[in-house]
Structure 1
Amino acid sequence: MILSYTNIAIKLALGLISLIIVINITGKGNLAPSSAIDAVQNYVLGGIIGGVIYNNNISILQYLVILMIWICLVLSMRWLKTNSSFFKVAIDGKPVVLISRGKLDTEACRTAGLTAHEVMFKLRSNGIYSIKTVKQAVLEQNGQLIIVKAGEENPRFPLITDGTIQLQALDSIDKTEEWLMEKLKEQDVENISDVFLAEYENGNLNLVKY
């Protein structure tokens, strides 16, 4: 089989352009994965480019159509995640509370696929050597462990994101949904869906509305 370097160059250029399009439209700035689905998208694109550029049986037009399908799928999932909390959880998953008030949830660890050794390793990496000193430890979708130590006043998570109350963040500061709704009413907010972001800091609730 004789390779056409012109075809390879064109296919590489099209792959690069598709990357630029996705980066610019999604507003991510780069393709660094922030969730499992982001990593899968990158793997799929790598498979498309690596498996096609040296295959003379796939024309440039066919390759372009494949790239367009990939772009449409990526942007569609991005749109669904942005506009639907159900699809966001279905596509990206959700954070898992591993430790609450000094008690380790073994079932949550099993669900996340973590052994006791791996949990303690993550804690030690954050300078924690006993679960009794942890008020809350949450495993993010990208595998990062976010820890709130006993005695910390401010949560590591916002209380509201994308119009949805984050219950584990409320629990970490010993507050209830009723308390949060009262705070929202004080700022003339009647509906949770009107709030894009709500942060709690030093006793104050800072809101960003849609």
Structure 2
Amino acid sequence: MNIYLLVGIKFILGILIMILQIHILGKHEFSVNTPLNQIQNYVLGGIIGGVIYNTSISILTFLIFILVWSLVVIIVKLMINIGFIKSLVVGNPITLVKNGKVNVANCAKVGISAEQLMLTIRTEGLDSTEDIKSAIMETNGKLTIIDMKSSAPKFPLISNGKINEDILELIGHDENWVNSKLKERGIDSTNDVFLGEYVKGRLILTTYSNI
């Protein structure tokens, strides 16, 4: 087979597999910066870039390589909601500021300097760490800041079945209150809730069955 035709076929197959992954995993997965996504991009780039010009590797072998890797990524994504797997692959949010107190060790752990921390705080319209109820470094590298004086939280109370304890503390309620609100709606557990928003004293719930 002509070398240029072989490279062209491999290139087209690589692009098609990438498009297939995007459709299966969702566009958002390719827009966020997580350890798994970085590894996926490195390996996929290595497979496509390193193999595509190697004429000794057949189209069938190339296709098997890229399909096996895609299968591994899809399986990991499907298992990502299992606690220890999520912690290992995606990581966990890290609290940098809690009730106005800066956790210097956690700041060093995520590689954020005092200047960078204060810059983010100022962009939120706050003047000092003492104004912060909670500042959390999310798994995608973004810093989520909850204002100490905020009466209307900017972030969900329940997200993907998990209660945000900082928001719960901020609105002055506990888990018993959340559970009572769930029972009023006939919902058994927070695990059934995709999104829970606290708006003007009301808990607006979106369950997985509504998706």
TM-score, normalised by the number of residues in structure 1:
0.87
Q: Distance in 2 between matches of 1:209 and 1:190?
A: 11
Q: Distance in 1 between matches of 2:34 and 2:20?
A: 20
What is the correspondence of 1:110-189 to structure 2 with a 5 Å cutoff? 110-189=108-187
Q: Residues 84-136 of structure 1, C-alpha deviation per residue, up to 9 Å, x if partnerless?
A: 24422332112112112221122322332323233223323444342122222
Q: Distance in 2 between matches of 1:172 and 1:8?
A: 58
Q: Structure 1 residues 162, 85: CA separation in 2 closer, same or farther (over 3 Å shift)?
A: farther
User: Match for 1:132: what amino acid?
Assistant: E
TM-score, normalised by the number of residues in structure 2:
0.87
Q: Structure 1 residues 145, 12: CA separation in 2 closer, same or farther (over 3 Å shift)?
A: same
What is aligned with 2:89? Answer: 91
Q: Secondary structure of 1:72's match?
A: helix
Q: Residues 164-185 of structure 1, C-alpha deviation per residue, up to 9 Å, x if partnerless?
A: 2232332343432222222222
What is aligned with 1:101? Answer: 99
What is the correspondence of 1:67-86 to structure 2 with a 5 Å cutoff? 67-82=66-81, 84-86=82-84
CA contact (8 A) 1:147 1:156 kept: no
Task: Please report the RMSD computed on the Cα atoms of aligned residues, expressed in angstroms.
Answer: 2.1
What is aligned with 1:19? Answer: 18
Alignment length (residue pairs) = 207
CA contact (8 A) 2:29 2:37 kept: no
Q: Structure 1 residues 36, 172: CA separation in 2 closer, same or farther (over 3 Å shift)?
A: farther
Q: Distance in 2 between matches of 1:141 and 1:29?
A: 14
Q: Distance in 2 between matches of 1:30 and 1:13?
A: 22
The Cα shift of 1:138 comes to 1.4
CA contact (8 A) 1:92 1:141 kept: yes
CA contact (8 A) 1:97 1:168 kept: no
Gaps of 5+ in 2: none
What is aligned with 1:9? Answer: 8
What is aligned with 1:65? Answer: 64
What is aligned with 2:188? Answer: 190
User: Match for 1:26: what amino acid?
Assistant: L
Question: Identity of paired residues, percent?
Answer: 38
